[in-house]
Structure 1
Amino acid sequence: MSEHEQLEVVDLGAGHRYELLLDGERVGSADYRVSDGVMTIPHVETEPAHRGKDFAARLMASVLDDVRARQLTVQPTCSYAAAYMRRRPETHDLLAT
């Protein structure tokens, strides 16, 4: 990614999906659903052409920032989301019990 490219995370809300945009183009997404104060994340992906650029990690960081701001907890059923949180102790307080 060059210094002129811009990443943005957008919550589609009704679409139950966060999208990671690079200069307005979707390069990744995270599906979710919220019930009883718990956000379940069943799927996180990066477009094949953009894998290996740390985009999924940036997406997860933004998703978890939003979870914290909304005072929710997380149930990461996606293997990537679960591994991301497992490797970052600072996110463990967001895990649903």
Structure 2
Amino acid sequence: MNSQENAAEPDLVVRDAPEHGRYEAWLGADLAGFVDYAVDGTVVSLLHAEVVERFGGRGVGGRMVRQTLDDVRGRGLRVRPVCGFVASWIARHPDYAGVVAAPEQE
């Protein structure tokens, strides 16, 4: 875990919002960020991650990605990290490499 993730907001809640096609990160009543996705069978393409500007630099992005990947993995699905931020986060956290879809799953 890097220092920004250690400093992450303790009350950050990340939840799937399928009606919006995204995972949302909430700090209390405030939307702090989101990860847009599309589902194709057992593969979830993570298309775009964004942290609301006023929450930047507080570890929200990393924690949001971690919780998103944990949820996808818990559902027995795999991800296709289209978003550069998500792909680089996974590259820095090799314990999450197993959640990435194999090329034949894409």
TM-score, normalisation: structure 2: 0.84
Unaligned ranges ≥5, structure 1: none
Q: Within 1, Cα distance between the matches of 2:71 and 2:28?
A: 21
Q: Which residue of 2 aligns with 1:79?
A: 84
Q: Which residue of 2 aligns with 1:37?
A: 42
Secondary structure, aligned partner of 2:19: helix
Larger relative CO (CA 8 A, sep 6+): 1 or 2?
2
Number of positions where the alignment pairs a residue of Structure 1 with one of Structure 2: 96
What is the CA-CA distance between 1:53 and the residue it aligns to?
0.6
Equivalent of 1:92 in 88, 91, 97 = 97
Q: Within 2, Cα distance between the matches of 1:33 and 1:76?
A: 11
Secondary structure, aligned partner of 1:15: coil
What is the CA-CA distance between 1:14 and the residue it aligns to?
2.1
Alignment partner of 1:60 is 2:58: no
Q: Within 1, Cα distance between the matches of 2:69 and 2:80?
A: 11
What is the CA-CA distance between 1:23 and the residue it aligns to?
1.0
Percent identity over the alignment is 33
State which drifts further: 7-16 or 65-74: 7-16
Residue identity in the other structure for 1:30:
V
Q: Within 2, Cα distance between the matches of 1:6 and 1:60?
A: 15
Unaligned ranges ≥5, structure 2: 1-6
Residue identity in the other structure for 2:47:
P
TM-score, normalisation: structure 1: 0.91
Q: Which runs of 4+ in 1 moved over 2 A?
A: none
Q: CA RMSD in A?
A: 1.7
